[in-house]
C-alpha cells in the first residue's frame, strides 16, 4: 500500500488551501446576493457601505469594469442589471478585513423591479424543449428499431417514472480564490479541479492572453465537479484586486454555495422496459426531463447510460429541458449516469420481479455482445464478472425474492443489487520530466489533486516508468504554469495524466540511455504531449462497470432505513494506486448512500431559492450512516486507454448505489420508492 505523499502535510495542517495562503496587504471581498429570483436592478446605493472605516470599494453594475468575454453569463459579473436567479451576485464590498467586508455588503441597498419567476420543474412544463446536445456534447436523443411497436407487443412491461431532487456537491472546502495582479498579469490561488482550463477561461472573460493568467491550486478540499470550472468568485476576486490594487481573498460562504457553485438538476425520468417472459429485453425506453437556467444551458445527460447497458433491438432515449429562473445546474459526481442509473436500475429490479427472474440473472441475460446502439465493440466489458463476483462475496445465492417477509423484531430486512457504469476516457495532456546531474528526477504536469490521491498515484506511475523509487521523484502539479493538462474530472484524471507522465518519463529514460547514463551538468529535460495518441484512439466503446449489492433494514414503525452492508465490485482497468482507488470507490458509494437516503435541495417556489443553506439543512450521510462498506476491483486489462491501462474510478462508485438501496428497501418492505431520497414518510404510507 502506498501512503499518501501529501498525507503528513494534510494531517499536520502544513498543506495550505487556496485562501489560507498568506498574502501581504490582502483585502477581502464579500458578495451581495440577489434578493429576488427574477427582475431588474433599479439602483444600488453604496453610501452606507462606503461610509464604514476600512471599506476600499463597493462594486456594482454601475461601476464594475466592463468584461470583454461574456460568453459564459455566469462569469459575466455585474455586466447586466437583469437578475436571473435568487442569490446571483449583484454587487460586492471590498474591505481591509473580512468582517468589515461582510458588514459593508450587508449595508449595500439594492432596489429591484421584480418580475414573476418560475422555478418549478414539472413534467408538462410548456417551456420544455429539445436541447442541441446534452452534457458534455452528447446526442440529445437516440432511436434504434421501432420502440413503440416493440414495447406495445412485449409480453412483460414496466412503465415507471422516477424522480431525483436537485442536489448540491458541498465539498468541505468552499470555493475560494486569492487574486493578485502584477501589471497586466494575474495570479490566482484557486480551489479548482483544473488549473490549465481555469486559466484559459479566466483569461477569456478578462480579455487577457493565455500567458497572462496563472492559476495555482496546490491543495483542493474536494470538488466533485463543482470546481471543474471557474465560478463567479474567481472573477470577483480578480475584479476586486484590479480595482483596489491589492491581493484580494474571496471565499464563497456555505450559504452562498447553494446558488453560485452549481447543482445537480432535478430529474423526472420515465423508463419503459419491454421483455419476453424470460426477462430478455426487446424494448428499452428512457425519457428524461430536467431543468437549466435562463443564463446558460446545461442538460444533465441522464439517459446516456441506458444506451449501452443492456441488449435490446428496439430502443429510444430522449432528453428535454426547460429554462427556469434558477441557478445554472452543473457537474456533480457522475452527472447523467448517477441519476439515470437510479431510474434504469430500479426499473430493472421491477422487471425482475414481474418476470420472476433473479435480478442478477436478469442483468446477465441482457448482456450485449457489442454496444447495443452503435455496434462498436467494447474495449473491455466486465459487468457480468462484477455481478458474479459480487453475488458470491455478498452471499446472494438462495435469496428469497419475496418482498416484505423478513422481520427481526421491528426491523424488516432486504437485499438489492444494481449495476454501475461510467465512461472510460482520456483527454490530451502534456508533461515534462527531467533529471539533474545529481540523479534527482522531477516530473511536472498541471494536474490537480482534489483529495483523490492524484499526487500519490502520479508519483508511483512516474517512478515505475523511470525505473526508480518514488522517493527519487519530485512531482509538481497544481499550477497552470506547468505543462497543460486535463482537469480532475470526468473520471479522466489518472488515465489522461499518467499517459503524459509515462510518455515523458519513458522518453527521458531513453535519452539517459542514449548517453550511456551520463547526465550533462545542466541535466536533461523532455516534454511529452499525448494529443496525437489520444486522437489516434480506436473506435471502441469504453466504460468502467461495476455491481453494487446492498443490505438494508427498515424500522417497520418509524421507516428508518439502515444500510448494514454495501459491497461494490468494479472492473476499472488496471488500478495504479490501490489504496487511493479504494478511497475513491467507497467515497463514491458513500455519496450514493447519501443520495439514496438524505440528499435533497428543496426549491422554495415562493421566493425562488434552494432552502438548504447549510449542512444542518442539507443532509448528507454521516459516519454513523456508513456501516459495512467494501469495494473490490477485479483485474482487468484495458489495452488502449494509455500505457497505465487505467480506466476511471472517480465517479463509477456513486452510480447505481441509490438503486441498489432502493431495490433492497423494496425487498425489505414491499414499498417501491421511485422518488429520491427515501425519506421515512415515504415508507410510512402504503404503496402498491
Per CB under 6 A, which region of 217-225, 285-293, 378-386, 599-607 contacts ligand MOS? 217-225
CB 632 to ligand MOS: min, Å: 23
Identify the active-site residue in 74, 167, 345, 651. Answer: 651
CB 379 to ligand MOS: min, Å: 20
Distances (CA, A) of 600 to 264, 392, 465, 530, 595: 10, 34, 45, 40, 8
CA-CA-CA-CA dihedral for 81, 85, 91, 92, to nearest 10? -160
Asked if 651 is an active-site residue, the reply is yes
Beta pairing partners, 200: none
| Start-to-end C-alpha separation, the chain | 49
Would you mind telling me the total number of residues written for the chain in this entry? 688
Query: Residue 346 CA to chain centroid, in angstroms?
Result: 22
State which residue has the least CB distance to ligand MOS. Answer: 225
Per CB under 6 A, which region of 210-218, 221-229, 309-317, 607-615 contacts ligand MOS? 221-229
CB 333 to ligand MOS: min, Å: 5
Site residues for ligand MOS, 20-49, by CB under 6 A, read: none
- CB of 285 or CB of 484, closer to ligand MOS: 484
CB 169 to ligand MOS: min, Å: 8
* 3 state SS of 181: strand
Which backbone phi and psi does 546 adopt, to 5 degrees?
-160, 165
Q: How many CB atoms lie within 10 A of CB 268?
A: 22
433 φψ region: left (φ > 0), alpha (ψ -120 to 50), beta (else): beta
How far is Cα 613 from Cα 473, in angstroms, rounded to an integer? 43
Residue 264: name the closest of 670, 662, 636, 658 by CA: 658
How far is Cα 317 from Cα 167, in angstroms, rounded to an integer? 23
Site residues for ligand MOS, 170-199, by CB under 6 A, read: 193
CB 38 to ligand MOS: min, Å: 28
DSSP H or E run through 291: strand 281-293
- CB of 285 or CB of 335, closer to ligand MOS: 335
DSSP H or E run through 506: helix 493-514
- CB of 262 or CB of 559, closer to ligand MOS: 262
CB 489 to ligand MOS: min, Å: 3
Site size toward ligand MOS (CB under 6 A) is 11
212's grid cell: 497572462
- Contact letters for ligand MOS, residues 297-336 (x by CB under 6 A): ----------------------------------xxx-x-
CB 224 to ligand MOS: min, Å: 6
Binding flag, residue 225, ligand MOS (CB under 6 A): yes
- CB of 224 or CB of 545, closer to ligand MOS: 224
CB 580 to ligand MOS: min, Å: 16
- Contact letters for ligand MOS, residues 478-497 (x by CB under 6 A): -----------xx-------
- Contact letters for ligand MOS, residues 226-245 (x by CB under 6 A): --x-----------------
C-alpha R_g of the chain: 26
CB 214 to ligand MOS: min, Å: 22
Neighbouring residues of 492: CB distance < 8 A, sequence distance ≥ 6: 425, 426, 427, 486, 648
- CB of 284 or CB of 585, closer to ligand MOS: 585
Site residues for ligand MOS, 430-489, by CB under 6 A, read: 489
- CB of 262 or CB of 372, closer to ligand MOS: 262
Check: CB of residue 321 under 8 Å from CB of residue 143.
Answer: no
Distances (CA, A) of 100 to 19, 52, 235, 544, 574: 17, 8, 21, 50, 52
- CB of 274 or CB of 335, closer to ligand MOS: 335
Residue 196: name the closest of 497, 475, 441, 495 by CA: 497
* Maximum pairwise Cα distance, the chain: 78
- CB of 262 or CB of 368, closer to ligand MOS: 262
- CB of 228 or CB of 266, closer to ligand MOS: 228
Instruction: Look at the alpha carbons of 182, 184, 185, 186 in this order and tell me if their dihedral is positive or negative.
Output: positive
Contacts 24+ apart (CB under 8 A), 381-384: 381/541, 381/543, 381/545, 382/545, 382/571, 382/634, 382/636, 383/419, 383/421, 383/545, 383/546, 383/547, 383/571
Per CB under 6 A, which region of 222-230, 247-255, 538-546, 619-627 contacts ligand MOS? 222-230
CB 429 to ligand MOS: min, Å: 15
- CB of 360 or CB of 586, closer to ligand MOS: 586
Residue positions annotated with a catalytic role? 651
Binding site for ligand MOS (CB under 6 A): 193, 223-225, 228, 331-333, 335, 489-490
Amino acid at each position: 500500500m502506498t501512503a499518501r505523499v501529501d498525507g503528513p502535510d494534510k494531517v499536520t495542517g502544513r498543506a495550505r488551501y487556496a485562501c489560507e495562503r498568506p498574502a501581504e496587504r490582502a483585502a477581502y471581498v464579500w458578495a451581495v446576493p440577489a434578493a429576488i429570483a427574477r427582475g431588474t436592478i433599479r439602483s444600488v446605493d453604496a453610501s452606507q457601505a462606503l461610509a464604514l472605516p476600512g471599506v476600499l470599494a463597493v462594486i456594482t453594475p454601475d461601476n464594475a469594469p466592463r468584461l470583454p468575454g461574456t460568453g459564459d453569463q455566469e462569469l459575466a459579473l455585474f455586466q447586466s442589471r437583469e437578475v436571473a436567479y435568487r442569490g446571483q451576485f449583484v454587487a460586492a464590498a471590498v474591505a481591509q478585513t473580512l468582517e468589515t467586508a461582510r458588514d459593508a455588503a450587508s449595508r449595500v441597498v439594492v432596489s429591484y423591479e421584480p418580475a414573476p419567476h418560475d422555478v418549478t420543474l414539472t413534467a408538462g412544463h410548456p417551456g420544455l424543449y429539445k436541447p442541441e446536445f446534452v452534457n458534455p456534447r452528447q446526442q440529445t436523443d437516440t432511436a434504434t428499431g421501432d420502440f413503440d411497436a416493440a414495447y406495445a407487443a412485449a409480453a412483460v412491461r414496466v412503465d415507471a417514472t422516477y424522480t431525483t431532487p436537485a442536489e448540491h456537491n458541498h465539498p468541505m472546502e468552499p470555493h475560494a480564490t486569492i487574486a493578485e495582479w502584477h501589471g497586466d498579469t494575474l495570479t490566482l490561488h484557486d480551489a479548482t479541479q483544473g488549473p490549465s482550463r481555469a486559466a484559459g477561461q479566466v483569461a477569456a472573460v478578462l480579455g487577457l492572453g493565455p500567458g497572462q493568467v496563472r492559476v495555482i491550486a496546490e491543495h483542493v478540499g474536494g470538488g466533485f465537479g463543482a470546481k471543474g470550472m471557474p465560478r463567479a468568485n474567481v472573477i470577483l476576486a480578480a475584479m476586486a484586486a484590479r480595482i483596489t490594487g491589492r491581493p484580494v481573498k474571496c471565499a464563497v460562504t456555505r450559504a452562498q454555495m447553494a446558488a453560485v457553485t452549481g447543482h445537480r438538476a432535478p430529474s423526472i425520468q420515465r423508463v419503459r422496459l419491454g421483455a419476453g417472459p424470460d426477462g430478455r429485453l426487446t424494448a428499452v425506453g428512457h425519457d428524461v426531463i430536467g431543468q437549466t437556467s435562463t443564463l446558460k444551458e446545461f442538460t444533465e445527460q441522464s439517459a446516456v447510460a441506458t444506451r449501452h447497458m443492456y441488449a435490446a433491438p428496439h430502443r429510444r432515449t430522449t432528453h428535454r429541458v426547460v429554462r427556469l429562473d434558477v441557478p445554472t445546474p452543473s457537474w456533480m459526481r457522475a452527472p447523467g449516469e448517477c441519476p439515470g442509473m437510479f431510474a434504469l436500475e430500479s426499473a430493472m429490479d421491477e422487471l425482475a420481479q414481474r418476470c420472476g427472474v433473479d435480478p442478477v440473472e436478469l442483468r446477465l441475460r441482457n448482456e450485449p455482445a457489442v454496444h447495443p446502439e452503435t455496434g462498436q465493440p467494447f474495449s473491455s466489458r466486465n459487468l457480468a464478472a462484477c455481478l458474479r463476483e459480487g453475488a458470491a462475496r455478498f452471499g446472494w445465492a438462495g435469496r428469497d425474492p419475496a418482498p416484505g417477509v423478513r422481520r427481526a423484531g421491528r426491523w424488516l430486512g432486504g437485499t438489492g443489487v444494481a449495476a454501475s457504469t461510467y465512461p472510460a476516457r482520456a483527454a490530451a495532456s502534456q508533461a515534462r520530466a527531467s533529471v539533474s546531474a545529481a540523479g534527482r528526477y522531477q516530473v511536472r504536469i498541471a494536474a490537480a489533486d482534489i483529495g483523490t490521491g492524484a499526487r500519490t498515484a502520479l508519483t508511483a506511475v512516474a517512478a515505475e516508468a523511470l525505473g526508480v523509487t518514488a522517493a527519487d521523484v519530485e512531482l509538481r502539479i497544481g499550477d497552470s504554469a506547468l505543462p497543460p493538462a486535463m482537469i480532475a474530472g470526468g473520471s479522466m484524471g489518472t488515465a489522461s495524466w499518467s499517459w503524459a507522465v509515462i510518455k515523458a518519463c519513458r522518453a527521458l529514460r531513453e535519452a539517459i540511455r542514449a548517453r550511456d547514463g551520463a547526465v550533462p551538468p545542466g541535466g536533461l529535460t523532455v516534454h511529452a504531449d499525448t494529443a496525437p495518441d489520444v486522437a489516434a484512439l480506436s473506435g471502441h466503446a469504453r466504460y468502467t462497470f461495476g455491481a453494487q449489492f446492498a443490505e438494508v433494514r427498515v424500522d417497520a414503525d418509524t421507516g428508518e432505513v439502515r444500510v448494514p452492508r454495501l459491497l461494490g465490485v468494479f472492473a476499472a482497468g488496471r488500478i495504479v494506486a490501490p489504496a487511493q482507488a479504494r478511497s475513491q470507490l467507497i467515497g463514491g458509494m458513500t455519496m450514493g448512500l447519501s443520495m439514496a437516503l438524505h440528499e435533497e435541495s428543496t426549491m422554495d417556489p415562493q421566493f425562488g431559492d434552494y432552502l438548504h443553506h447549510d449542512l444542518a439543512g442539507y443532509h448528507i450521510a454521516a459516519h454513523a450512516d456508513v456501516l459495512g462498506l467494501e469495494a473490490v476491483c477485479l483485474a482487468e486489462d484495458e489495452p488502449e486507454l494509455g500505457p497505465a491501462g487505467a480506466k476511471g474510478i472517480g465517479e463509477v462508485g456513486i452510480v447505481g448505489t441509490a438503486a441498489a438501496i432502493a431495490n433492497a428497501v423494496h425487498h425489505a418492505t414491499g414499498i417501491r420508492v421511485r422518488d429520491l431520497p427515501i425519506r421515512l414518510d415515504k415508507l410510512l404510507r402504503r404503496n402498491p
